[in-house]
Structure 1
Amino acid sequence: MDTTTRPLKTLDAPGFAHHFAEVNGIRVHYVSAGHGEPILLLHGWPFTWFTWARVIPALAANRLVIAPDLRGIGHSSRPETGYDLHTLADDAAGLLAHLGIRRADVVAHDLGTEIAFMLALRHPSRVRRLVLSEAILSGLPGAEAFLAQGKPWWFAFHDVPGLAERVLVGNEGAYLDWFFTHHTYGQRGISPEARNEYVAAYTGVEALRGGFAHYRVFKGNASLLQAASRGGLKVPTLALGGNVVGDALYRQLVPIADNVVGHLIPECGHAIPEERPDALLRHLADFLS
Protein backbone atom coordinates (compact mmCIF):
# COMPACT_ATOMS: atom_id res chain seq x y z
CA MET A 1 0.00 0.00 0.00
CA ASP A 2 1.25 3.48 -0.85
CA THR A 3 0.36 5.37 2.31
CA THR A 4 0.91 8.70 0.58
CA THR A 5 -2.30 8.08 -1.42
CA ARG A 6 -4.45 6.98 1.53
CA PRO A 7 -7.57 9.04 2.26
CA LEU A 8 -6.83 12.01 4.50
CA LYS A 9 -8.46 11.96 7.93
CA THR A 10 -10.54 14.95 8.97
CA LEU A 11 -11.19 16.52 12.36
CA ASP A 12 -14.01 18.67 13.66
CA ALA A 13 -11.78 21.63 14.43
CA PRO A 14 -12.06 25.25 13.28
CA GLY A 15 -10.29 25.80 9.96
CA PHE A 16 -8.96 22.24 9.85
CA ALA A 17 -7.17 21.45 6.58
CA HIS A 18 -4.48 19.25 5.04
CA HIS A 19 -1.50 20.73 3.21
CA PHE A 20 1.68 19.71 1.42
CA ALA A 21 4.82 21.83 1.27
CA GLU A 22 8.23 21.48 -0.35
CA VAL A 23 10.53 21.89 2.64
CA ASN A 24 14.25 21.12 3.01
CA GLY A 25 14.27 19.01 -0.15
CA ILE A 26 11.23 16.83 0.68
CA ARG A 27 7.45 16.99 0.44
CA VAL A 28 6.04 17.46 3.93
CA HIS A 29 2.43 16.71 4.76
CA TYR A 30 0.93 18.69 7.62
CA VAL A 31 -2.45 19.64 9.02
CA SER A 32 -3.42 23.01 10.38
CA ALA A 33 -6.35 24.34 12.38
CA GLY A 34 -7.42 27.45 14.24
CA HIS A 35 -5.78 30.83 14.40
CA GLY A 36 -3.68 32.79 16.87
CA GLU A 37 -0.27 32.12 18.38
CA PRO A 38 1.29 29.13 16.58
CA ILE A 39 1.95 25.77 18.17
CA LEU A 40 3.89 23.02 16.37
CA LEU A 41 3.18 19.37 17.29
CA LEU A 42 5.77 16.68 16.53
CA HIS A 43 4.76 13.01 16.77
CA GLY A 44 6.76 9.82 17.34
CA TRP A 45 6.74 6.17 16.30
CA PRO A 46 4.55 4.25 15.51
CA PHE A 47 2.32 7.29 15.14
CA THR A 48 1.53 10.04 12.63
CA TRP A 49 0.11 13.55 12.98
CA PHE A 50 -3.13 11.80 14.01
CA THR A 51 -1.72 11.12 17.49
CA TRP A 52 -2.72 14.74 18.25
CA ALA A 53 -6.32 14.31 17.04
CA ARG A 54 -7.78 14.46 20.55
CA VAL A 55 -6.07 17.74 21.45
CA ILE A 56 -6.10 19.66 18.15
CA PRO A 57 -9.77 20.79 18.36
CA ALA A 58 -9.30 22.27 21.83
CA LEU A 59 -5.98 23.91 20.97
CA ALA A 60 -7.43 25.35 17.76
CA ALA A 61 -10.01 27.31 19.72
CA ASN A 62 -7.39 30.01 20.31
CA ARG A 63 -4.15 28.83 18.70
CA LEU A 64 -2.87 28.17 15.19
CA VAL A 65 -2.03 24.45 15.31
CA ILE A 66 0.44 22.85 12.89
CA ALA A 67 1.00 19.08 13.01
CA PRO A 68 3.24 17.52 10.33
CA ASP A 69 4.01 13.93 9.47
CA LEU A 70 7.73 13.43 10.10
CA ARG A 71 10.07 12.71 7.22
CA GLY A 72 9.58 9.11 6.11
CA ILE A 73 6.22 8.70 7.85
CA GLY A 74 2.56 9.05 6.95
CA HIS A 75 1.85 11.19 3.91
CA SER A 76 5.28 12.88 3.91
CA SER A 77 8.11 11.87 1.57
CA ARG A 78 10.19 8.78 2.33
CA PRO A 79 13.72 9.69 1.24
CA GLU A 80 16.58 7.28 1.77
CA THR A 81 18.52 9.79 3.86
CA GLY A 82 18.04 12.78 6.13
CA TYR A 83 17.02 11.11 9.40
CA ASP A 84 19.79 12.67 11.44
CA LEU A 85 18.57 15.17 14.02
CA HIS A 86 20.15 18.16 12.28
CA THR A 87 18.14 17.50 9.13
CA LEU A 88 14.95 16.66 11.03
CA ALA A 89 15.24 19.87 13.06
CA ASP A 90 15.82 21.76 9.83
CA ASP A 91 12.67 20.13 8.41
CA ALA A 92 10.68 21.61 11.29
CA ALA A 93 12.35 25.01 11.04
CA GLY A 94 11.81 24.99 7.29
CA LEU A 95 8.11 24.30 7.71
CA LEU A 96 7.76 27.25 10.09
CA ALA A 97 9.64 29.45 7.63
CA HIS A 98 7.43 28.23 4.77
CA LEU A 99 4.39 29.29 6.80
CA GLY A 100 5.89 32.67 7.61
CA ILE A 101 6.02 31.82 11.33
CA ARG A 102 8.90 33.48 13.13
CA ARG A 103 8.50 31.65 16.42
CA ALA A 104 6.22 28.93 17.81
CA ASP A 105 5.59 26.87 20.89
CA VAL A 106 6.73 23.31 20.17
CA VAL A 107 5.17 20.19 21.70
CA ALA A 108 6.70 16.78 21.03
CA HIS A 109 6.26 13.13 21.93
CA ASP A 110 8.46 10.02 21.63
CA LEU A 111 10.80 10.34 18.59
CA GLY A 112 9.56 13.90 18.12
CA THR A 113 11.12 14.85 21.45
CA GLU A 114 14.72 14.61 20.25
CA ILE A 115 13.76 16.54 17.09
CA ALA A 116 12.12 19.31 19.11
CA PHE A 117 15.08 19.41 21.50
CA MET A 118 17.49 19.77 18.59
CA LEU A 119 15.25 22.41 17.03
CA ALA A 120 15.47 24.46 20.22
CA LEU A 121 19.28 24.11 20.28
CA ARG A 122 19.87 24.58 16.56
CA HIS A 123 17.19 27.23 15.88
CA PRO A 124 16.50 28.79 19.29
CA SER A 125 14.88 31.89 17.82
CA ARG A 126 12.17 29.65 16.33
CA VAL A 127 11.06 28.20 19.67
CA ARG A 128 9.16 30.21 22.28
CA ARG A 129 8.49 27.38 24.73
CA LEU A 130 9.22 23.67 24.55
CA VAL A 131 7.14 20.71 25.77
CA LEU A 132 8.82 17.30 25.63
CA SER A 133 7.24 13.98 26.58
CA GLU A 134 7.89 10.28 27.03
CA ALA A 135 11.36 9.97 25.53
CA ILE A 136 15.00 9.66 26.50
CA LEU A 137 17.61 11.98 25.01
CA SER A 138 20.18 9.50 23.72
CA GLY A 139 23.81 10.17 24.56
CA LEU A 140 23.05 12.53 27.43
CA PRO A 141 23.66 11.69 31.10
CA GLY A 142 20.73 9.84 32.60
CA ALA A 143 20.03 7.68 29.58
CA GLU A 144 22.21 4.90 30.97
CA ALA A 145 20.18 4.76 34.20
CA PHE A 146 16.92 4.38 32.30
CA LEU A 147 18.49 1.72 30.08
CA ALA A 148 20.16 -0.15 32.95
CA GLN A 149 18.29 -3.33 32.04
CA GLY A 150 19.35 -2.98 28.41
CA LYS A 151 17.89 -1.20 25.43
CA PRO A 152 14.37 -2.20 24.38
CA TRP A 153 14.54 -5.26 22.13
CA TRP A 154 12.95 -3.51 19.16
CA PHE A 155 15.78 -0.98 18.95
CA ALA A 156 18.13 -3.69 17.66
CA PHE A 157 15.45 -5.25 15.46
CA HIS A 158 14.60 -1.96 13.77
CA ASP A 159 18.28 -1.05 13.42
CA VAL A 160 19.19 -3.76 10.88
CA PRO A 161 18.69 -2.28 7.38
CA GLY A 162 16.12 -4.19 5.37
CA LEU A 163 15.37 -6.85 7.97
CA ALA A 164 12.39 -5.66 10.00
CA GLU A 165 10.42 -4.33 7.04
CA ARG A 166 10.78 -7.62 5.15
CA VAL A 167 9.89 -9.76 8.16
CA LEU A 168 6.85 -7.70 9.12
CA VAL A 169 5.13 -7.29 5.74
CA GLY A 170 1.67 -8.80 6.04
CA ASN A 171 1.84 -8.70 9.84
CA GLU A 172 2.00 -4.95 10.46
CA GLY A 173 -1.22 -4.87 12.50
CA ALA A 174 -0.20 -7.66 14.85
CA TYR A 175 3.21 -6.07 15.39
CA LEU A 176 1.93 -2.58 16.12
CA ASP A 177 -0.84 -3.90 18.35
CA TRP A 178 1.84 -5.17 20.74
CA PHE A 179 3.06 -1.61 21.29
CA PHE A 180 -0.46 -0.20 21.51
CA THR A 181 -1.37 -2.59 24.33
CA HIS A 182 1.87 -3.15 26.25
CA HIS A 183 2.85 0.51 26.43
CA THR A 184 -0.49 1.94 27.48
CA TYR A 185 -1.86 2.17 30.99
CA GLY A 186 -3.58 -0.99 32.16
CA GLN A 187 -3.08 -2.43 28.65
CA ARG A 188 -6.18 -0.58 27.55
CA GLY A 189 -4.65 0.38 24.21
CA ILE A 190 -5.62 3.33 22.06
CA SER A 191 -8.84 4.01 20.14
CA PRO A 192 -9.74 1.64 17.30
CA GLU A 193 -9.82 4.60 14.89
CA ALA A 194 -6.28 5.65 15.81
CA ARG A 195 -5.05 2.06 15.71
CA ASN A 196 -6.40 1.55 12.20
CA GLU A 197 -4.90 4.82 11.02
CA TYR A 198 -1.43 3.87 12.22
CA VAL A 199 -1.58 0.34 10.86
CA ALA A 200 -2.55 1.73 7.46
CA ALA A 201 0.22 4.33 7.64
CA TYR A 202 2.90 1.71 8.36
CA THR A 203 1.71 -1.01 5.98
CA GLY A 204 4.15 -2.11 3.26
CA VAL A 205 7.91 -2.32 2.93
CA GLU A 206 8.48 1.34 2.13
CA ALA A 207 6.15 2.59 4.83
CA LEU A 208 7.90 0.45 7.42
CA ARG A 209 11.34 1.48 6.16
CA GLY A 210 10.46 5.15 6.53
CA GLY A 211 9.63 4.61 10.19
CA PHE A 212 12.60 2.37 10.96
CA ALA A 213 14.96 4.85 9.29
CA HIS A 214 14.63 7.00 12.41
CA TYR A 215 16.01 4.13 14.52
CA ARG A 216 18.93 3.45 12.19
CA VAL A 217 20.60 6.75 13.02
CA PHE A 218 20.38 6.56 16.82
CA LYS A 219 24.14 6.21 17.34
CA GLY A 220 24.96 9.21 15.19
CA ASN A 221 22.15 11.22 16.74
CA ALA A 222 23.51 10.56 20.23
CA SER A 223 26.75 12.29 19.21
CA LEU A 224 24.83 15.19 17.68
CA LEU A 225 22.84 15.65 20.90
CA GLN A 226 25.98 15.58 23.02
CA ALA A 227 27.63 18.27 20.93
CA ALA A 228 24.56 20.48 20.61
CA SER A 229 23.67 20.38 24.33
CA ARG A 230 27.06 21.58 25.56
CA GLY A 231 25.86 25.17 25.44
CA GLY A 232 22.77 24.35 27.48
CA LEU A 233 19.08 24.66 26.75
CA LYS A 234 17.89 28.26 27.05
CA VAL A 235 14.25 27.79 26.01
CA PRO A 236 11.72 27.40 28.86
CA THR A 237 10.87 23.70 28.90
CA LEU A 238 8.22 21.37 30.31
CA ALA A 239 8.99 17.63 30.57
CA LEU A 240 6.00 15.29 30.83
CA GLY A 241 6.13 11.61 31.68
CA GLY A 242 3.71 8.70 31.74
CA ASN A 243 4.41 5.38 33.40
CA VAL A 244 6.94 4.22 30.78
CA VAL A 245 9.67 6.90 30.77
CA GLY A 246 8.41 8.55 33.95
CA ASP A 247 10.65 11.36 35.24
CA ALA A 248 13.80 10.16 33.44
CA LEU A 249 13.54 12.87 30.77
CA TYR A 250 13.09 15.60 33.37
CA ARG A 251 16.16 14.38 35.26
CA GLN A 252 18.19 14.48 32.04
CA LEU A 253 17.15 18.07 31.41
CA VAL A 254 17.76 19.52 34.88
CA PRO A 255 21.58 19.82 34.53
CA ILE A 256 21.48 21.46 31.09
CA ALA A 257 18.29 23.55 31.04
CA ASP A 258 18.05 27.11 32.33
CA ASN A 259 14.34 26.78 33.02
CA VAL A 260 12.68 23.35 33.19
CA VAL A 261 9.72 21.94 35.08
CA GLY A 262 8.52 18.36 35.11
CA HIS A 263 5.23 16.58 35.74
CA LEU A 264 4.11 12.97 35.80
CA ILE A 265 0.68 12.18 34.38
CA PRO A 266 -1.05 9.51 36.50
CA GLU A 267 -2.91 6.55 35.00
CA CYS A 268 -1.14 7.08 31.69
CA GLY A 269 1.19 4.90 29.67
CA HIS A 270 3.36 6.03 26.80
CA ALA A 271 0.80 7.57 24.42
CA ILE A 272 0.01 10.71 26.43
CA PRO A 273 -1.84 12.63 23.67
CA GLU A 274 -4.23 9.71 23.16
CA GLU A 275 -4.54 8.25 26.65
CA ARG A 276 -4.79 11.46 28.67
CA PRO A 277 -5.56 14.36 26.31
CA ASP A 278 -7.38 16.09 29.16
CA ALA A 279 -4.29 16.13 31.35
CA LEU A 280 -2.06 17.14 28.45
CA LEU A 281 -4.31 20.09 27.62
CA ARG A 282 -4.26 21.25 31.24
CA HIS A 283 -0.47 21.15 31.37
CA LEU A 284 -0.20 22.98 28.04
CA ALA A 285 -2.65 25.67 29.19
CA ASP A 286 -0.69 26.24 32.39
CA PHE A 287 2.76 26.22 30.83
CA LEU A 288 2.21 27.93 27.50
CA SER A 289 0.16 30.77 28.92
Structure 2
Amino acid sequence: MPPLEATLNRIPTNGIHANVAIAGAGPAVVLLHGFPHTWQLWNHIIGPLSTHHRVIAPDLRGLGASTRAPDGYDAATLATDIDGILDVLAEPIASVVAIDAGAPPAFLLATRRPDRVRRLVLMESLLGPLPGAEDFSPPWWFGFHAVPGLAETVLHGHEADYVDWFLTAGTQRRGVPPSIRDAFTDVCTGSEALRCAFSYYRAMPSSARQISDAVSRGRLAVPTLSVGAHPVGRALERQLRPVSDNLTGHLIPDCGHIIPLDRPQELLNLLTPFLSSTA
Protein backbone atom coordinates (compact mmCIF):
# COMPACT_ATOMS: atom_id res chain seq x y z
CA MET A 1 0.00 0.00 0.00
CA PRO A 2 1.18 3.56 -0.66
CA PRO A 3 2.16 5.77 2.26
CA LEU A 4 -0.74 7.84 3.56
CA GLU A 5 0.74 10.91 1.88
CA ALA A 6 0.79 9.31 -1.59
CA THR A 7 -1.87 8.58 -4.19
CA LEU A 8 -1.43 6.15 -7.08
CA ASN A 9 -2.20 7.42 -10.57
CA ARG A 10 -2.19 5.76 -13.98
CA ILE A 11 -0.64 8.21 -16.42
CA PRO A 12 -0.42 7.79 -20.23
CA THR A 13 3.02 8.52 -21.63
CA ASN A 14 4.98 7.55 -24.75
CA GLY A 15 2.68 4.67 -25.71
CA ILE A 16 2.39 3.12 -22.22
CA HIS A 17 0.54 3.74 -18.97
CA ALA A 18 2.80 4.41 -16.01
CA ASN A 19 1.79 3.69 -12.44
CA VAL A 20 2.87 6.79 -10.52
CA ALA A 21 2.82 7.57 -6.79
CA ILE A 22 2.36 11.28 -6.12
CA ALA A 23 2.60 13.10 -2.79
CA GLY A 24 2.93 16.62 -1.45
CA ALA A 25 3.07 20.05 -3.05
CA GLY A 26 5.84 22.38 -4.11
CA PRO A 27 8.75 22.09 -6.55
CA ALA A 28 8.54 18.76 -8.35
CA VAL A 29 10.95 15.91 -7.57
CA VAL A 30 10.92 12.72 -9.68
CA LEU A 31 12.21 9.52 -8.05
CA LEU A 32 13.37 6.73 -10.40
CA HIS A 33 14.00 3.22 -9.07
CA GLY A 34 16.05 0.39 -10.58
CA PHE A 35 16.07 -3.44 -10.71
CA PRO A 36 14.27 -5.31 -9.21
CA HIS A 37 12.29 -2.46 -7.67
CA THR A 38 9.04 -0.54 -7.85
CA TRP A 39 8.20 2.99 -6.71
CA GLN A 40 8.05 1.50 -3.19
CA LEU A 41 11.84 1.63 -3.10
CA TRP A 42 11.24 5.21 -1.96
CA ASN A 43 8.77 4.45 0.87
CA HIS A 44 11.04 6.00 3.52
CA ILE A 45 11.90 8.97 1.31
CA ILE A 46 8.54 10.11 -0.08
CA GLY A 47 7.00 11.30 3.19
CA PRO A 48 9.86 13.56 4.33
CA LEU A 49 10.43 14.99 0.84
CA SER A 50 6.71 15.65 0.32
CA THR A 51 6.64 18.22 3.12
CA HIS A 52 8.32 20.69 0.74
CA HIS A 53 8.05 19.08 -2.70
CA ARG A 54 5.60 17.47 -5.06
CA VAL A 55 7.08 13.97 -5.18
CA ILE A 56 6.50 11.93 -8.35
CA ALA A 57 7.59 8.28 -8.13
CA PRO A 58 6.72 6.13 -11.16
CA ASP A 59 7.05 2.43 -11.72
CA LEU A 60 9.41 2.28 -14.69
CA ARG A 61 8.21 0.80 -17.97
CA GLY A 62 7.50 -2.93 -17.64
CA LEU A 63 7.93 -2.97 -13.86
CA GLY A 64 5.44 -2.81 -11.00
CA ALA A 65 1.99 -1.83 -12.26
CA SER A 66 3.23 0.02 -15.36
CA THR A 67 2.62 -1.38 -18.84
CA ARG A 68 4.64 -4.50 -19.66
CA ALA A 69 5.71 -3.13 -22.99
CA PRO A 70 7.29 -5.33 -25.69
CA ASP A 71 10.21 -2.93 -26.11
CA GLY A 72 11.50 0.53 -25.20
CA TYR A 73 13.83 -0.35 -22.32
CA ASP A 74 16.74 1.74 -23.60
CA ALA A 75 17.67 4.89 -21.69
CA ALA A 76 16.40 7.33 -24.33
CA THR A 77 12.91 5.80 -24.47
CA LEU A 78 12.73 5.69 -20.69
CA ALA A 79 13.76 9.36 -20.54
CA THR A 80 10.91 10.15 -22.94
CA ASP A 81 8.54 8.24 -20.64
CA ILE A 82 9.51 10.56 -17.76
CA ASP A 83 9.27 13.64 -19.96
CA GLY A 84 5.71 12.62 -20.85
CA ILE A 85 4.72 12.08 -17.22
CA LEU A 86 5.86 15.62 -16.40
CA ASP A 87 3.84 16.92 -19.36
CA VAL A 88 0.67 15.24 -18.15
CA LEU A 89 1.22 16.53 -14.62
CA ALA A 90 1.84 20.06 -15.95
CA GLU A 91 5.30 20.22 -14.36
CA PRO A 92 7.58 22.24 -16.67
CA ILE A 93 10.65 21.58 -14.52
CA ALA A 94 11.62 19.02 -11.88
CA SER A 95 14.56 17.70 -9.95
CA VAL A 96 15.30 14.05 -10.73
CA VAL A 97 16.67 11.47 -8.26
CA ALA A 98 17.63 8.10 -9.74
CA ILE A 99 19.34 4.87 -8.76
CA ASP A 100 20.56 1.79 -10.61
CA ALA A 101 18.64 1.30 -13.90
CA GLY A 102 16.91 4.64 -13.38
CA ALA A 103 20.17 6.59 -13.57
CA PRO A 104 20.95 6.35 -17.34
CA PRO A 105 17.54 7.70 -18.41
CA ALA A 106 17.79 10.43 -15.76
CA PHE A 107 21.22 11.38 -17.11
CA LEU A 108 19.91 11.51 -20.69
CA LEU A 109 16.89 13.57 -19.70
CA ALA A 110 19.17 16.09 -17.95
CA THR A 111 21.64 16.31 -20.84
CA ARG A 112 18.96 16.53 -23.53
CA ARG A 113 16.52 18.72 -21.61
CA PRO A 114 18.49 20.94 -19.20
CA ASP A 115 15.52 23.31 -19.32
CA ARG A 116 13.40 20.60 -17.72
CA VAL A 117 15.74 19.22 -15.02
CA ARG A 118 16.49 21.64 -12.18
CA ARG A 119 18.78 19.35 -10.17
CA LEU A 120 19.99 15.79 -10.70
CA VAL A 121 20.90 13.05 -8.20
CA LEU A 122 22.43 9.80 -9.50
CA MET A 123 23.16 6.80 -7.29
CA GLU A 124 24.79 3.38 -7.54
CA SER A 125 24.89 3.03 -11.29
CA LEU A 126 27.31 3.30 -14.18
CA LEU A 127 26.87 5.36 -17.33
CA GLY A 128 27.76 2.96 -20.11
CA PRO A 129 31.17 3.51 -21.70
CA LEU A 130 32.11 6.80 -20.03
CA PRO A 131 35.70 6.74 -18.70
CA GLY A 132 36.29 6.46 -14.97
CA ALA A 133 34.84 3.04 -14.14
CA GLU A 134 37.55 0.85 -15.62
CA ASP A 135 38.33 -0.69 -12.22
CA PHE A 136 34.69 -1.74 -11.73
CA SER A 137 33.87 -5.19 -13.11
CA PRO A 138 30.21 -5.70 -14.05
CA PRO A 139 28.57 -8.26 -11.71
CA TRP A 140 27.93 -11.76 -12.98
CA TRP A 141 24.19 -11.26 -13.42
CA PHE A 142 24.65 -8.62 -16.13
CA GLY A 143 25.63 -11.31 -18.62
CA PHE A 144 23.07 -13.80 -17.29
CA HIS A 145 20.21 -11.32 -17.67
CA ALA A 146 21.36 -10.14 -21.08
CA VAL A 147 20.86 -13.48 -22.88
CA PRO A 148 17.33 -13.45 -24.34
CA GLY A 149 15.15 -16.15 -22.82
CA LEU A 150 17.79 -17.75 -20.63
CA ALA A 151 17.09 -16.22 -17.23
CA GLU A 152 13.32 -16.52 -17.70
CA THR A 153 13.67 -20.27 -18.20
CA VAL A 154 16.17 -20.90 -15.41
CA LEU A 155 14.40 -18.79 -12.78
CA HIS A 156 10.81 -19.85 -13.38
CA GLY A 157 9.42 -21.01 -10.03
CA HIS A 158 12.39 -19.62 -8.09
CA GLU A 159 11.74 -15.91 -8.49
CA ALA A 160 11.27 -15.16 -4.77
CA ASP A 161 14.57 -16.82 -3.85
CA TYR A 162 16.34 -14.87 -6.57
CA VAL A 163 14.91 -11.51 -5.50
CA ASP A 164 15.74 -12.30 -1.87
CA TRP A 165 19.38 -12.70 -2.84
CA PHE A 166 19.47 -9.19 -4.33
CA LEU A 167 17.67 -7.66 -1.36
CA THR A 168 20.02 -9.34 1.11
CA ALA A 169 23.15 -8.37 -0.79
CA GLY A 170 21.87 -4.88 -1.50
CA THR A 171 21.34 -4.06 2.17
CA GLN A 172 24.53 -5.61 3.58
CA ARG A 173 22.35 -8.49 4.88
CA ARG A 174 20.05 -6.17 6.83
CA GLY A 175 17.04 -6.97 4.64
CA VAL A 176 13.87 -5.03 3.80
CA PRO A 177 10.30 -4.99 5.21
CA PRO A 178 8.16 -7.95 4.07
CA SER A 179 5.69 -5.70 2.22
CA ILE A 180 8.47 -4.24 0.09
CA ARG A 181 10.00 -7.66 -0.48
CA ASP A 182 6.64 -8.90 -1.75
CA ALA A 183 6.23 -5.91 -4.07
CA PHE A 184 9.68 -6.45 -5.55
CA THR A 185 9.09 -10.19 -5.92
CA ASP A 186 5.97 -9.47 -7.98
CA VAL A 187 8.18 -7.53 -10.42
CA CYS A 188 9.99 -10.77 -11.27
CA THR A 189 7.27 -13.41 -10.96
CA GLY A 190 6.26 -15.09 -14.20
CA SER A 191 7.96 -15.28 -17.56
CA GLU A 192 6.51 -12.01 -18.88
CA ALA A 193 7.48 -10.09 -15.75
CA LEU A 194 10.99 -11.54 -15.95
CA ARG A 195 11.26 -10.61 -19.63
CA CYS A 196 10.45 -6.98 -18.83
CA ALA A 197 12.87 -6.83 -15.91
CA PHE A 198 15.73 -8.33 -17.91
CA SER A 199 14.98 -6.15 -20.93
CA TYR A 200 16.83 -3.35 -19.12
CA TYR A 201 20.02 -5.40 -19.36
CA ARG A 202 19.35 -6.41 -22.97
CA ALA A 203 18.99 -2.74 -23.92
CA MET A 204 22.32 -1.75 -22.34
CA PRO A 205 24.25 -1.62 -25.65
CA SER A 206 21.67 0.80 -27.05
CA SER A 207 21.71 2.86 -23.86
CA ALA A 208 25.52 3.00 -23.98
CA ARG A 209 25.45 4.40 -27.51
CA GLN A 210 22.85 6.98 -26.50
CA ILE A 211 24.96 8.12 -23.55
CA SER A 212 28.09 8.40 -25.71
CA ASP A 213 26.16 10.43 -28.26
CA ALA A 214 24.76 12.76 -25.58
CA VAL A 215 28.22 13.42 -24.14
CA SER A 216 29.64 14.10 -27.60
CA ARG A 217 26.99 16.77 -28.15
CA GLY A 218 27.39 18.67 -24.89
CA ARG A 219 28.08 18.69 -21.17
CA LEU A 220 25.88 17.96 -18.17
CA ALA A 221 25.03 21.51 -17.14
CA VAL A 222 22.53 21.02 -14.30
CA PRO A 223 23.76 20.86 -10.68
CA THR A 224 24.37 17.18 -9.97
CA LEU A 225 24.91 15.07 -6.86
CA SER A 226 26.54 11.64 -7.19
CA VAL A 227 25.93 9.25 -4.28
CA GLY A 228 27.84 5.99 -3.97
CA ALA A 229 27.74 3.03 -1.62
CA HIS A 230 28.68 -0.62 -2.06
CA PRO A 231 29.58 -1.88 -4.63
CA VAL A 232 29.74 1.05 -7.09
CA GLY A 233 31.46 3.42 -4.68
CA ARG A 234 32.93 6.47 -6.43
CA ALA A 235 33.03 4.96 -9.93
CA LEU A 236 29.94 6.90 -11.03
CA GLU A 237 31.42 10.13 -9.66
CA ARG A 238 34.59 9.50 -11.66
CA GLN A 239 32.51 9.03 -14.81
CA LEU A 240 30.56 12.22 -14.22
CA ARG A 241 33.47 14.47 -13.22
CA PRO A 242 34.89 15.13 -16.74
CA VAL A 243 31.46 15.81 -18.33
CA SER A 244 29.75 17.84 -15.56
CA ASP A 245 29.82 21.58 -14.93
CA ASN A 246 28.59 21.40 -11.33
CA LEU A 247 29.14 18.06 -9.56
CA THR A 248 29.19 17.10 -5.90
CA GLY A 249 30.21 13.56 -4.96
CA HIS A 250 29.40 11.69 -1.74
CA LEU A 251 30.03 8.16 -0.49
CA ILE A 252 27.77 6.70 2.22
CA PRO A 253 29.81 4.35 4.45
CA ASP A 254 28.53 0.94 5.56
CA CYS A 255 25.70 1.09 3.04
CA GLY A 256 24.53 -1.44 0.51
CA HIS A 257 23.51 -0.85 -3.08
CA ILE A 258 19.83 -0.23 -2.22
CA ILE A 259 20.53 3.11 -0.52
CA PRO A 260 16.92 4.34 -0.05
CA LEU A 261 16.07 1.23 1.99
CA ASP A 262 19.42 0.54 3.63
CA ARG A 263 20.33 4.07 4.78
CA PRO A 264 17.27 6.28 4.20
CA GLN A 265 18.12 8.89 6.83
CA GLU A 266 21.65 9.32 5.53
CA LEU A 267 20.23 9.73 2.04
CA LEU A 268 17.67 12.29 3.23
CA ASN A 269 20.45 14.21 4.92
CA LEU A 270 22.02 14.63 1.48
CA LEU A 271 18.87 15.09 -0.59
CA THR A 272 17.08 17.67 1.55
CA PRO A 273 19.64 20.50 1.34
CA PHE A 274 20.65 19.66 -2.23
CA LEU A 275 17.10 19.70 -3.61
CA SER A 276 16.19 22.84 -1.65
CA SER A 277 19.24 24.84 -2.71
CA THR A 278 18.73 27.74 -5.08
CA ALA A 279 22.45 28.18 -5.81
Q: Is this a same-fold pair by TM over 0.5?
A: yes
Task: Give the TM-score band, short-chain normalised.
Answer: over 0.9
1:83: Cα distance to partner? 1.2
Q: Distance in 2 between matches of 1:232 and 1:146?
A: 23
The answer as to 2:127 corresponding to 1:127 is no
Name structure 1 gaps, 5 residues minimum.
Answer: 1-8
Q: Which amino acid aligns with 1:11?
A: P
Structure 1 segment 34-183 matched on structure 2, within 5 A: 34-147=24-137, 151-183=138-170
Q: Distance in 2 between matches of 1:166 and 1:29?
A: 27
Q: Distance in 2 between matches of 1:84 and 1:239?
A: 22
Q: Distance in 1 between matches of 2:243 and 2:65?
A: 35
Q: Which amino acid aligns with 1:239?
A: S
Q: Conserved in 1, the CA contact under 8 Å of 2:29 and 2:56?
A: yes
Q: What is residue 242 of structure 2 aligned with on the other side?
A: 255
Q: Distance in 2 between matches of 1:275 and 1:12?
A: 21
Q: Conserved in 1, the CA contact under 8 Å of 2:174 and 2:262?
A: no
1:145: Cα distance to partner? 2.1
Name structure 2 gaps, 5 residues minimum.
Answer: none
1:193: Cα distance to partner? 2.1
User: Which of 187, 204, 211 is the matching residue for 2:190?
Assistant: 204
1:229: Cα distance to partner? 1.3
Q: What is residue 2 of structure 2 aligned with on the other side?
A: 10
1:240-264 CA deviation, whole Å, 9 max, x = no partner?
0112111111111111100000111
1:39-58 CA deviation, whole Å, 9 max, x = no partner?
00000001110000111011
Q: Conserved in 2, the CA contact under 8 Å of 1:55 and 1:277?
A: yes
Q: How many residues align?
A: 275
Q: Conserved in 2, the CA contact under 8 Å of 1:41 and 1:65?
A: yes
Q: Distance in 2 between matches of 1:141 and 1:26?
A: 34
Q: Distance in 2 between matches of 1:34 and 1:182?
A: 32
1:196: Cα distance to partner? 1.5
Structure 1 outlier segments of 4+, above 4 Å:
none
Tell me the TM-score normalised to structure 1 length. Answer: 0.93
Q: Distance in 2 between matches of 1:46 and 1:236?
A: 28
Q: Distance in 2 between matches of 1:88 and 1:243?
A: 25
Q: What is residue 6 of structure 1 aligned with on the other side?
A: none
Q: Conserved in 1, the CA contact under 8 Å of 2:171 and 2:262?
A: yes
Q: Conserved in 1, the CA contact under 8 Å of 2:2 and 2:21?
A: no
Report the RMSD for the aligned CA atoms in angstroms. Answer: 1.0
Q: Conserved in 2, the CA contact under 8 Å of 1:41 and 1:67?
A: yes
SS at match of 1:193: helix
